[in-house]
Amino acid sequence: MPFRQRVARHFGDSLSPTAPYLSLTGDDIKSLRYDWLTDNNIAFWEEWLEREILPHYSRARIVLLRPSMTFLLMQASDVKSIGSALPNFQKVTHIFLPVNDSRDRERADGGSHWSLLLVSVIDRVAFHYDSLGGANFYEAQKCADRLSKVLGIPLRFHQMDDCPQQENSSDCGVYVCILMRHLLIKRLLNANANEKVSMSMGNKVIDSHGARKEMLKIIESLRKEGERRRSASPFANSSRTPPRIE
């Protein structure tokens, strides 16, 4: 569903295309509070980064691939046939991909573990960050191999063994989101062009509980802003039934 339509579904057609956005269900919010993050949770976070962070760096050529697109890349029988469904990578320098361990081609929301693949197109390296040891090693290697075919370049796969590790069975998606933001902002967007950037995360500490609270706070703030804009609309209190002409 196009972005404008998703905005309208939640906040009403009176919002402009640049209005605050929200594309989450009640189940998604419940998962974000207590459980394993859904595709929608991670897609929302990527969209937030794209609209709140990336616009401040106009020269950046970075793609945050949605979980659904990573799933398509992983499951398509013919990689070349899905090229038109993926973003144009021609001038892209880096690509973030949330990797899921689902092997069911019929269920994009299946699987039980998330990890993060960061591909440096300019360096031809795929960095894999897995908060549960090497649980997604096979899936990440497959994802890098398939993306390599789409890009038409070889990619050297590098498992980041110093990735922060989760302490339970449900925080993997949260780790993906926080690692993505940290790598995007601290390692890529604010990097000095004259210095070699380390992609190690050995000293990074992730507070998963605090991260969930922060993400929920962002969502609530956007929801309130959407309600404020909706209430300010001249059509907010009008009847949904069109007037009858006698």
What is the average per-residue pLDDT within 122-129?
A: 97
What is the average per-residue pLDDT within 27-46?
A: 95
pLDDT score at 242: 54
Whether residue 10 lies in the annotated active site: no
Whether residue 39 lies in the annotated active site: no
What is the average per-residue pLDDT within 150-171?
A: 96
Choose the catalytic residue: 113, 128, 143, 163: 113
**Mean pLDDT value across the chain:** 86
pLDDT score at 1: 44
What is the average per-residue pLDDT within 226-239?
A: 70
pLDDT score at 28: 93
Give the C-alpha separation, 2 to 19, whole Å. 14
Which tokens sit at 97? Answer: 């991909």
Whether residue 143 lies in the annotated active site: no
Of 180 and 238, which is predicted with more confidence?
180
Element containing residue 210 per DSSP (H, E) = helix 208-232
CA distances from 99 to 103, 211, 216 (A): 11, 20, 23
Confidence of residue 80 (pLDDT cuts 50, 70, 90): confident
Task: Check pLDDT > 50 for residue 3.
Answer: no
Choose the catalytic residue: 28, 39, 101, 172: 172
Give the C-alpha separation, 209 to 171, whole Å. 9
Q: What share of the chain is helix, strand, coil (3-state, %, to 5)?
A: 45, 10, 45
Task: Check pLDDT > 90 for residue 223.
Answer: no
Residue written as token pair 């649980």: 135
pTM, two decimals, is 0.85
What is the average per-residue pLDDT within 72-85?
A: 87
Domains and CATH numbers, the chain: 3-232 (3.40.395.10)
Confidence of residue 160 (pLDDT cuts 50, 70, 90): very high
What is the average per-residue pLDDT within 37-51?
A: 95
Choose the catalytic residue: 130, 143, 171, 177: 130
